[in-house]
Amino acid sequence: MIGKLKGLVDSYGEDFVILDVNGVGYVVHCSARTLQRLPQPGEAADLSIETHVREDMIRLYGFRSDAEREWFRLLQTVQGVGSRVALGVLSVLEPGALATAIATGDKGAVARAPGVGPRLAARLVAELKDKAPAFAPVDPALIALTGAVEDRTAPQPVADAISALVNLGYPQVQASAAVAAAMKSAGEGAEAKTLIRLGLRELAR
């Protein structure tokens, strides 16, 4: 099995790069996010590789980091998710953001991926929620806060602050993360207006 390739970028296709390794051109399928971050043809690049072997073909999938490759594997443990859908998810969410979205139950963020509808997004979140923190550092306070908002048990100033940020156009998970950070500096008893002000400061960073 091939676990890593290091060589020169030969050319690009719609969803793949040809990597020239000592004169051998390897076709490596990648997420759109990975392809965008690779260098120009003729320049050096290295990719973590996942090798899929079937009776009729061998296909290589490339990733900028081992974390991205691990998410590629993990996503495919969910029924209905194949390599194409997994790459689609990784095209719209980098590993850290994906871990946060799943850990906080942000089905909307996951559903932005091509080939992922609301039902599949809900399944991904439900089946991977307990595994997500192991794949990226997700703030436990953020997970607890998101759960409290969903269960309608969050303190009213906190719920009001998150609602205000969402109404300003910020995604739910970003609003929750900003308010969670604001609570650390202002204290759990802070008023909504204070949490909104500090939350906006966090979002502006």
∠ CA 22-24-29, rounded to 5°: 115
The domain segmentation of the chain, as residue ranges, is 4-63, 67-135, 140-203
d(CA 61, CA 16) in angstroms, rounded, equals 9
Question: Is the CATH number of domain 4-63 2.40.50.140?
Answer: yes
Q: Where are the beta strands (DSSP E) in the chain?
A: 4-12, 16-21, 24-29, 44-53, 58-63
The CATH number of 67-135, from 1.10.357.10, 3.30.420.10, 1.10.150.20, 1.10.3720.10, is: 1.10.150.20
Cβ atoms of 64 and 4 closer than 8 Å:
no
Of the spans 15-19, 65-69, 170-174, 192-196, which averages the highest pLDDT? Answer: 15-19
SS3 sequence of 123-141: HHHHHHCCCHHHHCCCCHH
Q: What is the pTM of this model?
A: 0.67
Residue 108 pLDDT class (50, 70, 90 cuts): confident
pLDDT, mean of residues 34-62: 93
Q: Which residues 6+ apart lie within 8 Å of 54 measured at CB? A: none
> pLDDT of 131-158, one tens digit each?
765 555 555 555 455 555 554 666 787 7
